[in-house]
Amino acid sequence: MHELKQFKSEVRAWLEANCPESMRQPYRSEVDVCWGGRNWKFQSDDQQAWLQRMAEKGWTAPSWPIRYGGGGLDREHAKILKQELKRIDARAPLYSFGISMIGPALLKYGSEELKMQHLPPIVRGEIRWVQGYSEPNAGSDLASLQARADDLGDHYIVNGSKIWTSYGDQGDWMFVLIRTDPQAPKHQGISLILFDMNTPGVTTRPILLISGKSPFTETFFEDTRMEKNQVVGAPNQGWAIAKYLLTHEREMIGETGNLQSGAELLSRVAVKKLGLDNGRLSNPVLRTDIARFEIDEVCHQLTMERARDEAQAGASLGPAASMFKYYGTELNKRRHELLMTVGSHDALVWAGTQSHDGLVPRLWLRSKGNSIEGGTSEIQLNIVAKRILGLPG
Amino acid sequence: MALVLNEEQRMLKESAKDFLRQRAPVSHLRELRDSKSMSGFSKELWTEMAEMGWTAILIPEQYGGLEYGYSGLGIVLEETGRTLTPSPLLSTCLMGVTALVKGGSAEQCGKYLPEVASGSHLLALAVNESSRHAPYTVTTTAKTSDNGFRLAGRKTAVIDGHNADTLIVSARTRGADNDSDGISLFLMPADHPGITIERYRVLDTHCASHIMLDDVVIGGDALLGELHQGAAVLDRVLDASVIGQSAELLGLAQEAFERTLEYLKERKQFGVPIGSFQALQHRAAVMFGEIEQCKSIVLKALHALDRDDGDIPELASLVKAKLSETAHNVAAEAIQMHGGIGMTDEFDIGFFLKRCQILETFLGDRYFHLDRFARQRGY
């Protein structure tokens, strides 16, 4: 207990000294979110310094082992770090699918060589990872994927395509699901392979969304060489790893329903826009919806906290991740609906500096995808019904 | 504090569960109803609960208690929520004890708490005066006279008022009808001259009462806490009480849900279990998720009470609003998913909705607490 208190005061002092003031402000636009990678252009010196300082401590991946560049913190210490970051409204130093997705899969299933090769650059934010899962004809039924590999001894030659690759045109490396044994039953012939996006035969094409932005791409493979020593786990055993990784993806997406570091409390936004009337928000009907939303937000947040307290340190949440994914995304959609109502006419503005190029409506439209990507809400409810509640069929 | 039960708490939960399953399942409530019980609870069962130590859970050791805290009492209330077991645990062991511990003098605590711990003394808190929960709306007056007070007014919706040996009554000692300032709390024997208690039955089989105070003369030592400043004690008592009610609602929701889940697996129509239909699966999955959320916030709120955290008012209203909504939805869905048999009196599932409505309504429904939550957050 004493040791934890000491850690807390050390963290507090370190953050006070090392977190730049501008990194304690709410996000104003998408470039405020730091993704890192070979081609990342830091938006400010502060953004760069904040990433470097946190990465040196291993605190971009606080719970990873120190030998892979992580912070080596156990659950209690990691929680303290998180609380202290939240206390000063610090922005995340790094958003990374390396940390939230492929990293945990490598820690669990990867060889020592793969871990040593890939994890430290992830912690430092040097390599930006992207995910190659869905295909045009394999959405909710992911295991029916068709991108296939010809076995050429020490490597594969891959042909096919992926869709809904988040930031595919900005990725440095991809973790991809490929059918390496077309004869096997659909769940048993899939491998999870890592490859450099600069490999010849890889092209990407942005997909324009209803938000007017293109956060996703299609990715095409034309006789693309992928190395066998970059297969995670055993060849053709990728489905189990893919599912494990999906639970991490769901946890991560579930987190978006949380009050993220840097995100402002909805009621605070509403009070600024609408004002108070005798101490109550001036629109009493909207006030009720906001209160219900904020209550559900706390419920979700505390339930994720409880699930982590119950799980062994670092353990996966298993099928419960589906529940968090469902709630987190439904909450985020509600948040953006309410932000649109609070913003009213202002929230209809699509371009111009005053509206930060229509940030509010674009995020609202983008949020509609939250309950589709990473498995739809309906798929999550199916998983809860069957795998947790044991309902038949 | 991690959001999990410790070893001691897990044991308490198991023993409470076993005891209630054997001694006071839902059929116990049905028997009380069918026999038109006047008190609404069983004195024999209460004696056994006292022997289990439940009446002493919240009471400090110096007054003969176990000092297991709100987390301990919450565990027991959750289990009585599962079996819908009527008892004065909420009114006496949570509301009454909290009022004494938070507001009472050493003398008052020494007088009442050991007897409450042994199960031989019941308490009730008389707050409300209208058909809606409004703890600051106090028109009952307490005027100073000689060395004491003279009370006049009418209280209503007093949980276990008809069972209490001692009443804790809020009355106005100064200020306007709706001011929080100027409310004072008083202890008085339920059979004190000038007090009339009128029992009434609510919709399952529990009872509550109206209390008429007609020129009730009490001594200065009857004052609980500071003169005019009773609202501070009252706030904490009501916060703790709605968190306790929420623990009970949590047990109720879990039991109604588990019974329904079993039924979805057993009941066949069109040649298959009805639980194989996606329309029902998705509703069940959502209910499961809601109940999981309720578990987290109830645990958090109980911890907050034990640690005397600063955000108790906000948490209390958050918990009561959420649990009321969730438990109500689950209890109503339980009837729908049981189909026709869920509508029959012979089948137990309907009792859950009735009890739910009562717990929701007493001490503020979800709308009261949504409003209060928002005010606590400054909007």
A306 and B3 in contact by Cβ < 8 A?
yes
For residue B370 the two structure tokens come to 């949504």
Tell me the mean pLDDT in the region B229-258: 98
Distance from CA of B193 to the nearest CA of A (A): 43
Sorted by where each starts, the structural domains of chain B and their CATH numbers stand as 7-122 (1.10.540.10), 124-229 (2.40.110.10), 231-376 (1.20.140.10)
Helix (H) or strand (E) holding B284: helix B278-307
3-state class of B302 per DSSP? Answer: helix
A381 and B288 in contact by Cβ < 8 A?
no
Buried b (16+ CB within 10 A) or exposed e, A222-235: eebebebebbbbeb
β-bridge pairing B123-126 and B166-172: parallel
A306 and B289 in contact by Cβ < 8 A?
no
Distance from CA of A49 to the nearest CA of B (A): 34
Closest CA to A327 of A257, A375, A245, A247: A257
**B373 contacts in chain A (CB < 8 Å):** 291, 294-295
Give the nearest partner residue to A292 out of B280, B285, B370, using CB atoms.
B370
Q: How many CA atoms lie within 13 A of A1 on its CB side?
A: 2
Sorted by where each starts, the structural domains of chain A and their CATH numbers stand as 2-95 (1.10.540), 129-237 (2.40.110.10), 256-388 (1.20.140.10)
Nearest chain A residue (CA) to B370: A291
Helix (H) or strand (E) holding B374: helix B366-376
Distance from CA of A329 to the nearest CA of B (A): 13
ipTM attached to this prediction: 0.94
B270, pLDDT greater than 90:
yes
A167, A336, A373, B155 from A359: Cα distances, Å: 18, 11, 21, 54
Distance from CA of A277 to the nearest CA of B (A): 9
Phi first, then psi: what are they for B86, rounded to 5°?
Answer: -80, 135
pLDDT digits (tens, 9 = 90+) for B60-103: 999 999 999 999 999 999 999 999 999 999 999 999 999 999 99
**A279 contacts in chain B (CB < 8 Å):** 375
Chains A, B: CB contacts under 8 A, how many? 123
B288 and A323 in contact by Cβ < 8 A?
yes
B289 and A323 in contact by Cβ < 8 A?
yes
B1, pLDDT greater than 80:
no
**B299 contacts in chain A (CB < 8 Å):** 306
Chain A positions with Cβ closer than 8 Å to B: 265, 267, 270-271, 276, 279-281, 287-288, 290-292, 294-296, 298-300, 302-303, 305-306, 309-310, 320, 323, 326-327, 378, 380-382, 384-386, 388-393
Using the Cα atoms of residue A123, residue A126, residue A128 and residue A129 in order, give the sign of their dihedral. Answer: negative
**B379 contacts in chain A (CB < 8 Å):** 267, 270-271, 276, 280-281, 287, 290
pLDDT in tens, chain A (393 residues): 789 999 999 999 999 999 999 999 888 777 889 999 999 999 999 999 999 999 999 999 999 999 999 999 998 899 899 999 989 989 999 999 999 899 999 999 999 999 999 999 999 999 999 999 999 999 889 999 999 999 999 999 999 999 999 999 999 999 999 999 999 999 999 999 999 999 999 999 999 999 999 989 999 999 999 999 999 999 999 999 998 988 878 877 776 544 454 578 999 999 999 999 999 999 999 999 999 999 999 999 999 889 888 876 555 677 888 999 999 999 999 999 999 999 999 999 999 999 989 999 999 999 999 999 989 999 999 999 999 999 998
3-state helix, strand, coil in chain A (%, to 5): 50, 15, 35
pLDDT digits (tens, 9 = 90+) for B14-60: 999 999 999 999 999 999 999 999 999 999 999 999 999 999 999 99
Q: Find the radius of gyration of the CA atoms of chain A.
A: 22
Average pLDDT, chain B: 96
Instruction: Give, rounded to a whole angstrom, the gap between the first and last alpha carbons of chain B.
Output: 29
Cα separation, A234 vs A232, whole angstroms: 6
A393 and B292 in contact by Cβ < 8 A?
no
B285 and A389 in contact by Cβ < 8 A?
yes
Predicted pLDDT at A314: 53
Predicted pLDDT at A257: 47
Distance from CA of B371 to the nearest CA of A (A): 7
B residues 335..374 contacting A (CB < 8 A): 370-371, 373-374
Whole-model pTM? 0.89
**B318 contacts in chain A (CB < 8 Å):** 295, 298
B285 and A381 in contact by Cβ < 8 A?
yes
Predicted pLDDT at A256: 57
**B374 contacts in chain A (CB < 8 Å):** 267, 280-281, 287-288, 290-291
A392 and B265 in contact by Cβ < 8 A?
yes
Closest CA to B127 of B233, B249, B243: B233
A296, B30, B105, B225 from B221: Cα distances, Å: 45, 42, 9, 10
Distance from CA of A295 to the nearest CA of B (A): 6
The verdict on B304 touching A (C-beta cutoff 8 Å) is no
A26-35, A365-374, B225-234, B283-292: least confident range? A26-35
> What are the residues whose beta carbons fall under 8 Å from the beta carbon of B300, sequence distance 6 or more?
A302, B3, B315
**B311 contacts in chain A (CB < 8 Å):** none
